[in-house]
Structure 1
Amino acid sequence: MAEPDDPRFVVQHHLATADHYDLRLEIDGVLVSWAVPKGPSTDPAVRRLARRVGDHALEYCEYEGVLSPQRRGGGVVQVWDHGTFRNVSRDGSDPVSAGAALARGHLSFVLRGEKLRGGYSLLRTRGDDLWLLLKKRDGEADARRDVTGTETWSVLTGRTMAEIEAAG
């Protein structure tokens, strides 16, 4: 059950230099962000590369439209999914804050979105910016579901990427 003050998450489909998805989690007053080239998966056997990118202001959670190509990250942005999440990171049996888990390089969380639900983990692999996004084995896992290939609409407006681009 989501609480009113639960932190938010957003997944934005972003067609810039390369087509990718941006996973953004509200942690310590900002949207901590990762670019996920192939997008999230609902299959626990699939590991998705996630590159840590700059934090964004909380207001960006609801941004959908076309960013100027002259601007870094310019291109079409769609709010592909959004909702709240619950941090479930632990150190042994002790709970760990999302900020501390991020610093340790292992963040576990439960998403409550319109398209994505259930447990996920982000694991840092090398350096500070390369991570893996993993779906946990739970009741929301579905190896047959091609969530990014078949669920291509915006959860805010119902528009596709082409419709957002055409609207300019």
Structure 2
Amino acid sequence: MTARQPAFVLHDHQKPRPHYDLRLEEDGVLKSWAVPRGLPTEPDANRLAVAVTDHAMEHLSYHDDEKSIADTGWWEQNDRNDHRLVFTLHGAGPARRYALIHTGGPNWLLHLTKDQPTA
């Protein structure tokens, strides 16, 4: 029997201003970052990610008139230390590997890594 993989959800928010929330399941909650410009699509297009309050697991499927689910699936940790988390998202499209790099306070840098998983 294989263990269940931790889930993720990417929410597309319309208010108070358009942004995305990346939520990764960990320790029974969804660790969350607001990403004003969305996930990077190229390795040289880094994005600000602001850590926000953890959310309950019910947010994996939550949506309303102002919040929709842009992607959902599972994630795997590839590397981690006190200042960086490297992870792969397995969602609707091809798997993509990212790094969250802590830059101080609530601010993180979300980076699409150059080395991507192979199909």
TM-score by length of structure 1 reads 0.65
Alignment of 1:93-104 (within 5 A): 101=81, 104=82
Match status 1:17 vs 2:7: no
**Structure 2 residue ranges without an equivalent (≥5):** none
Aligned counterpart, 1:121: 99
Picking from 80, 84, 109, the partner of 2:87 is 109
Percent identity reads 41
Runs (4+) of structure 1 moved beyond 6 Å? Answer: none
Structure 1 residue 64 displacement after superposition:
1.2
Structure 1 residue 139 displacement after superposition:
4.2
Distance in 1 separating the partners of 2:44 and 2:94: 16
Cα deviations by residue, 1:102-160 (Å, 9 ceiling, x for unpaired): xx121110110114622101001012x100100011346xxxxxxxxxxxxxxxxxxxx
Distance in 1 separating the partners of 2:104 and 2:52: 14
Aligned counterpart, 1:81: 71
CA contact (8 A) 2:74 2:91 kept: yes
Structure 1 residue 89 displacement after superposition:
1.3
Give the alignment's Cα RMSD to 1 decimal.
1.5
Given the superposition, is the C-alpha separation of residues 30 and 43 from structure 1 closer, same or farther in structure 2, using an over 3 Å criterion?
same
What SS class does the counterpart of residue 65 from structure 1 fall into? coil
What SS class does the counterpart of residue 88 from structure 1 fall into? strand
Distance in 1 separating the partners of 2:61 and 2:104: 31
Picking from 131, 149, 162, the partner of 2:108 is 131
Structure (1 or 2) with the greater helix fraction: 1
Aligned length: 116
Alignment of 1:1-168 (within 5 A): 5-66=4-65, 76-90=66-80, 101=81, 104-115=82-93, 117-127=95-105, 129-139=106-116
What SS class does the counterpart of residue 60 from structure 1 fall into? helix
Distance in 2 separating the partners of 1:125 and 1:28: 23
Structure (1 or 2) with the greater strand fraction: 2
